[in-house]
Structure 1
């Protein structure tokens, strides 16, 4: 299978940009968790569930609601880190590389989506580093000024507990969104370059499982495929 790699243009970063961003925090509707430790946050995560106020984003996720592997890597001497997303799309295992800028506020990151002209602020609102993380993303498109709120649930494994799901739902409600619209991603096979999709994934049909499910487990997801 041919490996597909999508690259997100690198945002110019540095200490100057970081200090310019700090005053914005005073007017920001979100704040990251206290005592955030970025180095503990790096490594592999899985995108388990999402909800966004952007209808186009939600339509894309509904068509392909699969678990995405996320690998976060950071060079301590640099003011940014990379997130490599691996997932199946149209039967092909693809990777997307996104460069996030660090700010001097721990737990807050920034990146730009050139395709949509959107500036995205990301906040880690809750995490225990070895089980789950809740990510809030606030984006603004330029020059329209359209604003979007996105909530994501990450897991270190492809299973999260009921209390974690409750925290995810609470964050959704806090930002005045409907938890019933959240998309619970499904596991349809391990995505490695050159590896075929799992046999059962050929019959995979896009759907939107309800957030009321108490656990997201590999076994449950396979039974839904």
Structure 2
């Protein structure tokens, strides 16, 4: 099986800026969790569920609601970390590499997506490090100034408990979005180099059915902001 790596062009903020100010939204309405420990946060996560105010992002997710494996690695000398997301694209296991800058606020990260001209501020609003993490992303497109709010649920495994889903839905409501529109990603196979795609049985359910599901199609998945 082929392994494809997709590189996302990003403007990485230098360490001087990182220590002087937090980019994008200095008066941001969001705050990360207290006493955040970044080193405990690194490692393997799975993107379990998402909701965004961006209609184009939601359309892409609805066409391909598949669990992505996320590998976070710290680069201490550069004051940033990389996130490698792995998922299937037309039956081929592909990877997308994104570089995030650390900010002076623990639990708050920044990256810029040049393709969309978007500055993205990410917040870990809550995590227990070994089970789940709730992510809030606030992005601003330049020069239009259009703003997007995205809420994501990460899990250390490909299943989450009902109490965790309740926290995810509470975060959605806090930002005045409808929990019914949230997309629950599904596991369709193991995405590892050298292995063929292994389809899950039709009866397999990775989540409790508390948020609406979407059908999986074979259409291409575009890179996400």
1:14/1:212 CA distance change after superposition, 3 Å:
same
Return the structure number with greater relative CO, CA threshold 8 A, min gap 6: 2
Between 134-143 and 203-212, report the one with greater CA deviation: 203-212
2:61 is the counterpart of 1:54: no
CA contact (8 A) 1:159 1:218 kept: no
CA shift for structure 1 position 77: 2.4
Count residues in correspondence: 225
Report the Cα distance in structure 2 between the residues aligned to 1:132 and 1:208, rounded to whole angstroms.
Answer: 15
Q: Where has structure 1 moved over 6 Å in runs of 4 or more?
A: 201-209, 212-225
Between 187-196 and 169-178, report the one with greater CA deviation: 187-196
**CA deviation string 1:72-127 (max 9, x = no partner):** 00122221000000001221111000000000100000001111110000000000
CA contact (8 A) 1:62 1:208 kept: no
1:144/1:74 CA distance change after superposition, 3 Å:
same
CA contact (8 A) 2:67 2:185 kept: yes
Report the Cα distance in structure 2 between the residues aligned to 1:32 and 1:24, rounded to whole angstroms.
Answer: 15
CA shift for structure 1 position 198: 1.1
TM-score (structure 2 length as normaliser): 0.87
Report the Cα distance in structure 1 between the residues aligned to 2:92 and 2:164, rounded to whole angstroms.
Answer: 31
Q: Secondary structure at the match of 1:111?
A: strand
Q: Structure 2 regions of 5+ residues with no counterpart?
A: none
Q: Secondary structure at the match of 2:220?
A: helix
Q: Structure 1 regions of 5+ residues with no counterpart?
A: none
Report the Cα distance in structure 1 between the residues aligned to 2:13 and 2:223, rounded to whole angstroms.
Answer: 45
Report the Cα distance in structure 1 between the residues aligned to 2:12 and 2:140, rounded to whole angstroms.
Answer: 18
TM-score (structure 1 length as normaliser): 0.87
The CA RMSD over aligned residues, in Å, is: 5.8
Q: Secondary structure at the match of 1:200?
A: coil
Name the structure with the higher helix share. Answer: 1
